[in-house]
Amino acid sequence: MTGASTGMGAATAHALAARGFHVLAGVRRDHPGSPGVEPVLLDITDTEHVEALAARVAADERPLHAVVNNAGIQVNAPVEALPLAEWRHVFEVNLFGHVAVTQALLPALLRGGGRVVNISSVGGKAAMPTYGAYAGAKFALEAVSDALRREVEPLGVRVVVVEPGGVRTEMATRGIATANDLAGRMTPEQDRRYGGLVQAINSLMASGTSSGVTAQAAAEVIAKAVTARRPRTRYPVGRDAAVLTRLVRVLPDRALDRVIGATVRRHHPRVA
């Protein structure tokens, strides 16, 4: 699995190892292993790393049961204010890297009748303000997952999407720091337009994370997606994800805009 250094990824690696799997855990730097968990240096945007992972899998006599695409970054900024280089970086990590890993390992999955588990987000269903790049990549990952499922399930490979809401990990903390850094680079005009919005979204993100599920609880859902004999196509993680995915299905766009707008306004900084 990718993105296994900390948080939800590390918890999932250990949950799968506890179920008897030998887990190749993709990490960005040297990392101690543990029973059933073998760290593998993996930057999913680095072609050489991906090729080395495919070679490691091909050299193993054991069948490949699943690829869990979990690596990701969170970058939040208004569409107008986010530099194009940052847009491209978000898509490289949150979309194209997953496609690269899947392409490299799909032959092994086809031989063993394995499955692909893509870790998306509730942001792949509804795009909050300042989530344009992050949600855009997650929406795309959902679409790629649908296309892949319809291509390879007739060949014996299952494709599953996991959609977490708030999870108590370091990702949100890093996301808030990144959002503040990007906000500091906005022009004065952009700051007047969006400064309060950025603060509101940071507050909302912190609140959603603190009330979210634990990394271990999220890992149990991912492990279920990996091991279920007949997995569902999608698994929301957390009450917030379950509620929002239902709202997206039933509410018209304008009604959903009002719901999201009211939620964001509750977190806007108070003006004296």
Catalytic residues: 134
Measured in degrees and rounded to the nearest 5, phi and psi for residue 268 equal: -65, 145
User: Residue 62, exposed/middle/buried by CB under 10 A (0-12, 13-18, 19+)?
Assistant: exposed
**Three-state DSSP state, 246:** helix
Contacts 24+ apart (CB under 8 A), 85-91: 86/133, 86/182, 87/133, 90/133, 90/134, 90/136, 90/137, 91/133, 91/136, 91/137, 91/140
Report the distance separating Cα 204 and Cα 184, nearest Å. 19
